[in-house]
Each structure stands twice: as structure tokens, then as C-alpha cells.
Chains A and B, each alone.
Chain A
Amino acid sequence: MGAVYRKEMRSYLVSMIGYVFIAFILLMMSFYFAYLNLNLASPRFEAVLESIRFVFVIFVPILTMRVLAEEKKQRTDQLLLTLPLTVSDIVVGKFLAVATLFAVPMGIVCLYPLILARYGQVNLAVAYMSILSFFLLGCANIAIGLFFSSITENPIIAAVVSFVVLLVCYLMDDLSSMVPNTASASVISFAVLFALLAAVLYNLTRDLWGAVITGAFLITADVCLFIFKRTMFEGLFHRFLNMFYMTGRLENFFNGILDISGVVYFLSIIGVALFMTMQTLNKRRWS
């Protein structure tokens, strides 16, 4: 893992993308910092972070698109996978490298609340908690970008897909409010979702019966639950969709609540995304 990490860091040091990313994040932060905190004389540093949550949608896809797709394109994955390394060494090493790159501007940003504190009362605990949550959100986005980089060997496709997915997650608050809240709408939405899941399952495994049985089981369970516990379904799909509204999880931190469930949420997303990335790499070896 260490060797993969060092190799990745080295490639960021010699290529432009790392520096551009750091500069861009810093530029955005500093711009909003100068405007919101200095110009408007507000002590709330979290307001800056709140305003620039959208940067991930733009910059994470660009940063992560090449990480695994390029290896496959250049056939260097053949080197990595035939060296005495495990798939998790590769994936985790690469993830940590991107996360480190993101940690650089975040580390610099940690100075900003101190600058503010020189001129007035600043709640530093809230400010640093917000920075931490912002960093976790970034890492979760990076893990998702990494996953989409593993499913294709074309970096552009990886970038477009992760852009769309991150954008949908970013807008999920608005999108989910468009879904009707009634129980019947929920049950139908879930049925469609399970059917899609079965289709994906079939696509991955080529096991028609397995996919049909899984899909049928889930849909039956969905309908049975609907019949017996109708009230449970009210607004359920809405809540389900909101699970993907990652940026919304920052609210508690910005309001000064140390939201442990939020931390667990981000760590879980990172874990699931990295696990799926490993599985994608493994699957390619087995198919």
C-alpha cells in the first residue's frame, strides 16, 4: 500500500493536475473567505464552506478520472496486478494519495479561522468541525470518483459518469422533493428500483435465474410489506433518496453539532465505494 501511495504522490508532484486542484480549491476558499468573512465582517467560517460545497462536483471527477482508468488504458494495471500487491493495497493506496492531495488545501485553510480570531470572537470548535466534515465529504466524493474510474478504461467516460452521479447527489434535496410522498408512490418506486437492481445483477453475473429470483423476492417483499404495513411506506422513498444527499450531512456540523452519525455516514460511503472498486478490479480478473 505504501509503495502504491508513494508512486501516486510522485505522479501528482510531476504532473499539473495536482497543483491545479490545490490552487483551485484554495482560490475558491480564499475568494469566499475574503468576501464573506473579511468584507462582510462575519466570524462564521462555516459560511465559506457552505458556499463552496459545489466544488466537488466539478473537481473530483477531473481528479479521479485517470486514477484507475488510465492504468488500464496504458496496460500498467498488468504490472500492478502481477506484482506482489493485493487489490486492496492498490485501491487504498490510490485513495489515500488523492485524499492527501485534498488534505493539502484543507490544511492551509485551517489557518483561516485563526486569521479571523485575531479580529474578533470566532467559534473555533465549530469552524474546525466544519472543516473536518468538509474534508470527509470530499473524501467520500473522491472514493465515489475512484469507483467510476475503475469501471471503464476511458478517463473521459469515468469523469462524465462521476460528474453526473455527484451532481445528482448534490441536487438530491431538490430532486427527492419532486417525488410524491404517498405510500403507493413509494412502493411503486421501490418496485422499479428493485427491477433495475435485478437487471444490473444480471448484467454483472449473467445469471438469469439468480437475477430474476432476487428481483422477484425483493419486489414481493416490497408489496407484502405495503399490504401489511402501509404506513411505513409514507415518504419512505423520499427518505431513501435523501440518504444520497451527502452535502446535506454537513448542516449539523455547520450548526455546531458534533454529528457522530454524520462521520459514520461519510466513512461508510468511503468504505462501500472502495470495496466496490476492489470488487470491480477483482471481477475483471475473473470474467
Chain B
Amino acid sequence: MITATHSPDEHIAALRPKLVAFARLQLRDNAAAEDTVQDTLITALEKHDTFGGRSAFETWVFGILKNKILERLRQQGRFVAWQSDEQSDDDALENLFQDNGRWQATKRPVPWGDPDQVLENTAFWKVLDACLVALPENTARVFTMRELMELSTPEICNVLDISESNCWVILHRARLKLRDCIEKGWLT
């Protein structure tokens, strides 16, 4: 528990691992994640005094981090090697459904139980992280922008310079692959 007697440095040091984990998921590059967090912490330290409550401070630091990540994604711009990583992805999706549009017998989703319990289960988060890493890069990027950074699809389109319908297609694919991967990795 962090109290008011801790210095801003300690306060921020405690937050750092969480920030790095978050940035790494989004940027998929350790060095870039460390850089971005470093940058975020400098900004946070400069303005630390304006924050009294701990949770307000943390939320605010995450806000800074999200902006820095976005800035970096903008600079990286466009999708890299979109074609190659999309092709194998499409093939994998075909395996989920039969030609008539029904689920393949072995791919039919099964219930995961109470959502609140799932979200509190550390095993679930581990599998989710592994499954995110296993996604093709562009697919994972759009998904994490949408569901972890909580950007709207118009915002994502703007940053990545893709159409909104393209964005929806990618998200559909990401969700199908993730749920399949999670079910395999977690319940079996």
C-alpha cells in the first residue's frame, strides 16, 4: 500500500512494471515498450505534485502512456507486411466453420462459466497474453487498440489509415481466433 509519505519516485517505481507490461502488449517490442514508459514516467514526475489521490494518479499516468503509445503507433504508421500475415490468418479461420457456415464439430464454443470469476482468474490472463502474442501482428494491434486502449474504431482507422469496414473484419477475425486459442489453452 502506497501512502502519502512515499516520495513521487517510489510512487512511480511501483507503477512501472504494470506500465511496461501494458506497453509491451501493445507495441510487441521490449525496447520500444521501455522507451515509451521511460518517456511517460518523466512526464509523470514533472507533474506529480498536482495529484493527491493514488488511483487518480495511476489513471492519469495510464492516460499519458496511452497517448505516448498512440504517438508511437502513428509514427510507425501503416501496417507492415500486411499481406503475408493476413493470408495465413485467413486459412486458420476457414478451419473454424464448415462450408455451410456452421461451426466445425471440434471448434464449437463451450461456455467458460461466470464472467466475473473468469476475469479474476490469473490463469485466464496468462492464456490471454499468450494468445495475443500468437496472433498475427496487425490483428493483435487492432484488437489491443480496441479492447485494451479502448479506442473507437474511427480512432483506430485514423491512426492506422485503414477503412472502418477493414477494421471490423480484423476485429471479427481477432475475436474468433482469440476465443479459440483461449479455450484450447485454458480449459484443456
Query: Are A and B genuine complex partners?
Result: no
